[in-house]
Structure 1
Amino acid sequence: MEPMDDPASIAAAASNFASYPGPVTDAAAKEFLDSYPLPLLFSALESEYEVPGLEASVVSCLERIFKTSYGASLLPQCMPYAKAGLIANSSLTRRLACKAVEHFLENSDKDEGIGVHAIAENGLLTSIITCLADGDDNVAKAATEAVKNLAKSTRGLELLFPSKEGEIMHLKQLAMNCSSLVRIRILSIAAALFSISSETAAAVYQSGLLNMFEQELNSTSDMLATLNLLELLYEFAATPNGAKYLLTKNTLHRLAATISNSSVDSMLRSRAMMICARLLSLDSVYSAVDELDVKNVIQAIDMNLELLKFTESNECEIALNSLGQIGLVMQGAELLLCSAPPTARHVIDAAFSRQGRNIQMAGTHALADISGVERSQSTLLLNDQAESCLRNLIYTAAENSSMRSPSNLFWSLLQQEPEVRLAVYRLIAGLVTRPWCLWEVCSKQEIINFVTNPFSETTKEGMEFRHSCCVAINNSLMASDYKNDAAFSQVAEKLQVAIKSGPYLAKVRTESTPLVITQERF
């Protein structure tokens, strides 16, 4: 046996190469492969030599090589070896084969379909999909990435989701005959594919693979499996294509039923609220669904908060945050304020009644969202009924408190800890567009002095929020009838000085002061 063919020598060289610090260069990869060619390394993986660390060292070495440009250029000739590696007994070798396919597809010319052609020619698809059900999570993850890369090309989509009659859809076949865990994994891939492109989303949708979503959601009695499914629905809701799919499946109605069911575990109710909030924070949703479905969701969250009574719980925070997300869009905010009774009352009560630090912060941020702090200028103000309700709720909250006025409420909140103040800056910036709130803020000297003081905040985020609040107050003042009011001239001057100074601590010029002391005498 020649030295270079000695398994111990290969293990030592591969170990040294794999553990070398820093990124691997093309030159280093080529130099190593000149001494230890790929066929030799693959043979070492297939051998039964009992050399400690041989397999792990060779796998780590090859993973580093394939990440280089030089190594990637050699991947086409590695596909026959990958076919054997995908069905190897060792999970390390199976993972390496999956990663090799992943890198090959990532670096191949997708327009020409070279990578897809090689996958089909070498019969790798069935083995890759089988690896999705691998007992080793690392192998399954590597196979998942390979499938995602395959779906990024038109030809790859055709391979994964064949449209011709009689052709087997291996992905769907596996999903139908595997454990719940593997089905969740496959559905997770489907959720990821929806975000790639509308073409990819259409291929997944037409395949019928997603019908298992409903079957799994209806049939499972396992809370963990249900929670995993809801997590996937949350991912679907994050993309326009995914949201469109969910809306065609009457998802809002189903989720509203989950939220309002007190016998359902709070974790499931919370996740259902988050999915609904993510969907209802999209403008396009309101033209695609029946308004009654939206109202049912809002009513379900309302009932949930009514039962929770602002307990310091994660579910209560999520409910308030969900209302804030829904209020990000004009239609959502109007429904929150125009319902009977207005669901927004929970947000205002949480913000102003000091039910606990986290609850108060969640309520204040949610009220800022409903008021339009994140909306464009054209959609910031709501319809007359919603605006009237917003004003009445805030004034009622003030009158029912010891503060007696919104300006005193704002000032009280500004005197709290920094995290709460960030929410208050957002709230004032959103509400101050309304003349009634502008008057409340500008007539309270303490508020103006605080927000225009560059030393009120010490953190970068706090300084930026404070400055943004100044800008919002100034813009509203300059656009209002109060701009020529002598009573607010000093306020306008302070705001403009604060805005020009920027968000961060103003540089105050300090002159050196001479120190004169009497000479000490003994």
Structure 2
Amino acid sequence: MLMFYIFFFLGLMPFIQAGLQANSQTIRCLACKAVSNLLENAEDMEAAVQTIEEHKLYPLLINCLVDGNEQTSTASLDAIKKIAHSPEGLSVIFPTHGEGSNQLKNLAANSSSLGRIRILSIIVKLFSISCSVATAVNDSNLLNLFEVEIKDSRDMLTSLSALELLYELVESPYSTTVLLKSTLLQLLIDMISNSTVDSVLRSRAALISGRLLSSADAYAVIDEPSVTTLLLTINERLKLLDEQNTDESESEIEALGLIGATNQGANLLLTSTLNVARHVIDLSFDRQCRGKQLAALLALGSICGADRLEDKIMLNNRAEEQLRSLVYAVAADSPKLTPSGLLLSVLRQEPEVRIAGYRLTAAMVVRQWCLREVCSNQEIISIVTDQKIEATKNGMEMRHDCCVAISKALSTSPLLCDATIAGIAEKLQEAVRRGPYLAKKHTEEAQPIVVTAERF
């Protein structure tokens, strides 16, 4: 059976080879799909990849990727990804000798903007396959192509497309340690601080920077001064945009939330002399700019530990004290006067803001000072235990999660010694037992009534 497959495969090769070089885009697309199908059904992947290499199909697939129409390019991309999934295929794309990945670099240097973006796209797809493929991509210096496109100020759309693909690449689990060893972060910082760069590009650069530092692994690679430089840059931009409700401000606030998602990042944000966290806390309770307020509430929730494991929510002593001081300072400067008043003002707003408020409250009540504030405000307790207040599934679940978080924090708190607090704890436990969704009230079933028929 295996020998039959090999001979059958070899017999098709001249046709596939010719199809990949045809003038017709339809034929080229079908030839790319044929390569994919052959690899999917290959019983001996090593023999299949060797045959592809012997017939020099990989360079033809790359040409289809760059020069083909959308359908052909997509089919070629799929075939190249399948080649890269095996160790044998990896040696075809990244050989130790010969042209290797230079074909991609040479093509990028001589291609149109669309062709260059397609080359970046295949780099992203290859990078995300496995750690070994990501290492091969990095060792081939293909990531430098992103820097070249981002630095090119002549074509904003191409630069934006390159940034979008870089954002996709950063989401790969293998990206952090590789990218932070390059000069990409400094390039992004320069872009954020450059007022001549379009705000859309600055916004994307800020989000990519935040995403790069949203993993705890990042801090094993990058030094603190580099993170401080990024925070300083974002801080300066937020000061310049203070009176403006722009997408750029929201992106930079979101970036701070991404950085603050880890203990290391949150500690840096709160203990930095730049006072960056004050921006986030101020905007979280500022109803004048709804977009920025929502972004800030989500960011503050991340800094407080909404996305961290339970044993990672609390920060170091200095950061925790700074968080407490900042929240009380913002409350004192507002008409609400207390942190509980600030949280209540958020929970009284429209559903989207209120849901962000549930998330923030759930993260903050782990801290005894905030738990005391929340329990001192009966209206907050009434809102989080009210099954009727939310109309969406997400809203109901977030309200219930908040209720669970307060109840759990109270269960181990010395505040339970107070009779009033103990009553609140019972109310919360009852709400937790009822679950997140509005239970339908039991209605009695209709009962048939038997009466004597009327006679005429």
Tell me the TM-score normalised to structure 1 length: 0.80
Equivalences, count: 442
Residue 277 (structure 1) aligns with: 210
Cα gap change, 1:145 to 1:224, in 2 (>3 Å): same
Task: Indicate the residue corresponding to 2:451 in structure 1.
Answer: none
Query: Deviation at 1:222?
Result: 2.0
* CA positional deviation for 1:143: 1.2
Shift of the alpha carbon at 1:501? 0.7
- Bigger shift: residues 118-127 or 320-329: 118-127
Q: Which runs of 5+ in 2 are unaligned?
A: 1-6, 448-456
Larger radius of gyration: 1
Runs of 4+ in 1 over 6 A off after TM superposition: 73-76
Question: Distance in 2 between the 1:128 and 1:213 partners?
Answer: 21
**Residue of 100, 107, 112 corresponding to 2:41:** 107
AA matched with 1:131: C
1:259-308 superposed Cα distances (whole Å, 9 cap, x missing partner)? 11212110111111011111110100011111100111111111111111
Corresponding residue to 1:403 among 336, 348, 365: 336
- 1:85 corresponds, among 19, 28, 49, to 19
C-alpha separation in 2, matches of 1:418 and 1:205:
45
2:66–2:119 contact (8 Å) kept in structure 1:
no
Partner SS, residue 123 of structure 2: helix
CA distance in structure 1 between the aligned counterparts of 2:36 and 2:205, rounded to whole angstroms: 34
Partner of 2:275: 342
* Offset at residue 250 of structure 1 (A): 2.6
Q: Distance in 2 between matches of 1:354 and 1:499?
A: 30
Where 1:248 maps in the other structure, the secondary structure is: coil
Map 1:6-405; keep pairs closer than 5 Å. Answer: 77-109=11-43, 112-165=45-98, 169-309=102-242, 311-405=244-338
Aligned-partner residue type, residue 55 of structure 2: N
Contact 1:76 1:104 in 2 (8 A): no
8 Å contact kept, 2:235–2:274? no
Q: Distance in 2 between matches of 1:167 and 1:273?
A: 34
- Specify whether residues 445 and 213 from structure 1 end up closer, same or farther in structure 2 by C-alpha distance, changes over 3 A only: closer
Any conservation in 2 of the 1:160–1:169 contact (CA below 8 Å)? Answer: no
CA shift, 1:487, in A, is 2.1
**1:74 CA displacement:** 7.7
The amino acid of 1:87's aligned partner reads: Q
How much has 1:327 moved relative to structure 2?
0.9
Letter in 1 for 2:396: M
Q: Secondary structure at the match of 1:208?
A: coil
The answer for the alignment partner of 1:455 in structure 2 is 388
Task: Report the CA distance shift for 1:218/1:341 in structure 2 as closer, same or farther (over 3 A).
Answer: closer
What's the Cα RMSD here?
A: 2.3
Q: Tell me the CA shift for residue 208 of structure 1.
A: 3.2
Deviation of 1:379 after TM superposition, in Å, equals: 1.5
In 1, Cα distance between the equivalents of 2:235 and 2:84? 42
Q: Distance in 1 between matches of 2:219 and 2:288?
A: 33
More displaced, 170-179 or 364-373? 170-179
TM-score under structure 2 length normalisation? 0.91
Give CA-to-partner distance per residue, 1:406-465, whole Å, 9 cap, x none: 112211211111111100000100111111110111111111111112112121111100
Whether the 8 Å CA contact 1:160–1:170 is kept in 2: the answer is no
Determine the C-alpha separation between the residues in 2 that align with 1:176 and 1:153: 28
2: CA distance between counterparts of 1:169 and 1:226? 22
Q: Match for 2:58: what amino acid?
A: L
